[in-house]
Amino acid sequence: MAQFRETPYSVFNYLVDLGDGTEGDIAGGFSEVSNLNAEVTIAEYRRGNAPTNYCTKVPAINKAGDVTLKRGVVGASNINSWLDEVRAGVISKKDVTIKLKSEDPTSDTAVVTWKLKKAMPIKWTGPTLTAKGGSDVAIEELVLSVEYIEQE
């Protein structure tokens, strides 16, 4: 259950579990999680004999957006293995968990948890390699298709 407090939590302390137990491992160490979103579409309806001249809006289909994860290239094979399964035609959906932790480094308790239900990789982007400069980190990006998002 989410822990309420008056000031918002910082965004820099979180854990990601791809459903493979790598939450505390370097393979699950993502530097960025973006596009966590859910949407309820609206259907417009009006009876022909309605006394008013406007539509009634009713909730329709629920959708979750695609979630993007970024991490430094560490030579881990968990993302590539999962993507290979999907490319081979295997419907390999997993429940991915993202836990926001408090700023207190001694606390291991999640203050908010998002569960990405039935997530599946749909896009992988490798790092941009350049010979000039040398101070950037090689970053890979994984985009997950998510059926729905639960928050605890």
Q: Are 9 and 69 in contact (CB under 8 A)?
A: no
Give the integer Cα–Cα distance in Å for 93 and 36: 17
Report the range out of 24-33, 42-51, 106-115 with the highest average pLDDT.
Answer: 42-51
Burial 127-149 (b: 16+ CB within 10 A, else e): eeeeeeeeeeeebbbbbbbbeeb
Share of the chain above pLDDT 70, in %: 99
CATH superfamily of domain region 14-46+53-151: Hcp1-like (2.30.110.20)
Give 103's contacts (C-beta < 8 A, 6+ positions apart): 9, 10, 13
User: Is residue 28's pLDDT more than 90?
Assistant: no
pLDDT at 25: 77
Domain extents for the chain?
14-46+53-151
pLDDT at 18: 92
pLDDT at 8: 87
Q: What is the mean pLDDT of the chain?
A: 91
User: Is residue 46's pLDDT more than 90?
Assistant: yes
- Give the pTM: 0.86
Looking at this protein, which amino acid is placed at residue 144? L
Encoded tokens for 79: 């993302």
What is the per-residue pLDDT across 119-144, written as a single tens digit (0 to 9) for each? Answer: 999 999 999 888 887 778 899 999 99
Distance between first and last Cα of the chain: 4
